[in-house]
Structure 1
Amino acid sequence: MSSSRVIRSRDNPAFKRLVKLIDSGRHRRETGRIVLEGMRLLRALLARGGLPDLVAVAESEAQAPELAACLQAVPADRILLLSDALCARLSDLATPPGVLAVAAPPPPRLRRTPPGFLLLLEDLQDPGNVGSILRTAAAAGVDLVLLSPGCADPWSPKVLRSAMGAHFLLPLRERADLLEAARGFAGQVIATSAHACVCLFDLDLTGPTAFILGNEGVGVTQRLQEAAHAVVRLPMPGGMESLNAAAAAAVCLYERVRQLQAAGRDGHTVNRCGE
């Protein structure tokens, strides 16, 4: 890449469009585009046959071997070279990764139909929590994640970054009617609550299962608890009142994974130590 092509002005139209996409969830929805920050997400996009509309690269990263290898799959006219200062404006990280891609969201691909392992997220506000939960859900083999209208934007740069590529493995349904989904699910629906009497570990989770996780502050609403077949708590012998939402999700999802493996009914390909 020639240094004469480096964009250095904040008034550049292409740079302004990038800023708008990063800063505005509404604009991302209207344009049907997302912003992928960092090499991991760019590789995930390319590995699944996606092609970015645009890749913005920091001047200092332009000759990095790993990036150069990735960019071989991207037409030259879709690569935008930015000064390091402009590229830093596009990231909220202390050390920006130096590469951003604009692309269409990956199409949802159900692991199986009908899905037997669902995760319903009700009004989770923190992007880091949402991203971490999506990462865990993808790793645990969840078939589908449904997000209520009150959840953080699952396609925001912060969520995408926290999810570490899970969006390319995990079908998502935004602005979902969780009550309708819970009532229509052909299996057991389990809501979580710190005040429940039933312990998660006392349930048989080897059949079709949907977990409901609620807002970081108020938890699962009463209407969704009433739609569930069971409301469960996680044991906390150490005396804490609650767990972080992402940690609670990991416990719930992996308890089902544990039970399925113990029963020899994994349902998905599982990587085991030594194999």
Structure 2
Amino acid sequence: MTETVISSRDNPLFKRLKKLADSARARREARMTLLDGEHLLTAYLDAGGQPHTLVRAASLDAGRFERLAGQCPHAKAVELSDALFAELAPVATPTGLLAEAAWLAPPAIEATPLVIVLEDIQDPGNLGSMLRTGAAAGATLAVLSKGCHDPWSPKALRGGQGAQFVLPLVSGVDIVDWLAGFEGESLALALAEDGNLYAHALTGALALIVGNEGAGLSQAVCAAASAAIRIPMPGRIESLNAAAALAVAVFEAARQRAT
């Protein structure tokens, strides 16, 4: 394996990687992203992807990197100084490994629709966690509003832990228009509603809608949904965060479908 050593910020490849790390527009135009760490790279390979470039920090064990590079025969291998690598890493304590990779388009899942619909989720970790939860519960599609964070950002990918590689998703969607064309029941998870999640049949074609971390769902989306339902909370807390609410709802749907 031959590595290219990059020591300057003016290097064209480093500039390209930096744009992918920092810019949603650059990722969207190239349909490329950066995968951070061995786990994400392995999940990407398991899903049938092959990275374009493998990048290691100089401090990463060369033997470990060479073993990973052996699974990516067409990837260009690059070594960066730890300081340059830290400029690309999405976390304060870098893993030492990045991969430049094309977006994957998972095939449609042939099952009764179980769609997670996310309106204006701003935090990349929350968004990734929601996609991971949906994928784990057997969701067939994720629909993201125009106001959602970029699902292919390095931080959202870390939160998703491979969900973006296996769960079909569409982003930049007008949720009200999408709901109008959905041939199934759409349930908005909201506070102070009479409908009880656990008393509702969730076995048919279903879309579960969750809103922004602070503002919740917009009035327009709530009005476009078939119904609004609440998660009963017997404790002395008035609400769940968006990721937890989605987890409760989508796994209740999974439980009902299994039984």
Matched AA of 2:226: H
Contact 2:21 2:90 in 1 (8 A): no
Q: Matches of residues 85-100 of structure 1 in structure 2 within 5 Å?
A: 85-100=83-98
Query: 2:62 matched to which residue of 1?
Result: 63
Q: How far does the alpha carbon of each residue in 1:227-265 deviate from its partner, in whole angstroms, 9 at most, with x for none?
A: 222201111211212111111110010000111122xxx
Q: Matches of residues 1-275 of structure 1 in structure 2 within 5 Å?
A: 5-65=4-64, 67-75=65-73, 78-112=76-110, 116-262=113-259
Matched AA of 1:206: T
Q: Under a length normalisation based on structure 2, what TM-score does the superposition of the two structures give?
A: 0.94
Q: Which moved more, 1:130-139 or 1:89-98?
A: 89-98
Secondary structure (helix, strand or coil) at the match of 1:61 reads coil
Contact 1:6 1:59 in 2 (8 A): no
Secondary structure (helix, strand or coil) at the match of 2:55 reads strand
Q: How far does the alpha carbon of each residue in 1:197-253 deviate from its partner, in whole angstroms, 9 at most, with x for none?
A: 211111011111111111112211112212222201111211212111111110010
Q: Under a length normalisation based on structure 1, what TM-score does the superposition of the two structures give?
A: 0.89
Secondary structure (helix, strand or coil) at the match of 2:59 reads helix
Contact 1:119 1:142 in 2 (8 A): yes
Q: How far does the alpha carbon of each residue in 1:135-178 deviate from its partner, in whole angstroms, 9 at most, with x for none?
A: 00000010000101000111111100100001111001011121
Contact 2:187 2:229 in 1 (8 A): yes
Closer/same/farther in 2, CA of residues 191 and 75 from structure 1, 3 Å limit: same
**Residues in 2 aligned to 1:92 and 1:42: alpha-carbon distance in whole angstroms:** 15
Q: CA deviation at 1:44?
A: 1.6
Matched AA of 1:173: V
Moved over 4 A (4+): none
Q: CA deviation at 1:192?
A: 1.0
Closer/same/farther in 2, CA of residues 205 and 50 from structure 1, 3 Å limit: same
Q: Which runs of no fewer than 5 residues in structure 2 stay unpaired? A: none
Give me the CA root mean square deviation: 1.7
Q: Which runs of no fewer than 5 residues in structure 1 stay unpaired? A: 263-275
Secondary structure (helix, strand or coil) at the match of 1:6 reads strand
Matched AA of 2:170: R
Q: CA deviation at 1:54?
A: 1.0
Q: How many residues are matched? A: 259
Query: 1:271 matched to which residue of 2?
Result: none
**Residues in 2 aligned to 1:255 and 1:179: alpha-carbon distance in whole angstroms:** 24
**Residues in 2 aligned to 1:226 and 1:110: alpha-carbon distance in whole angstroms:** 28
Q: Which moved more, 1:218-227 or 1:122-131?
A: 218-227
Structure 1 or 2: more strand by fraction = 2
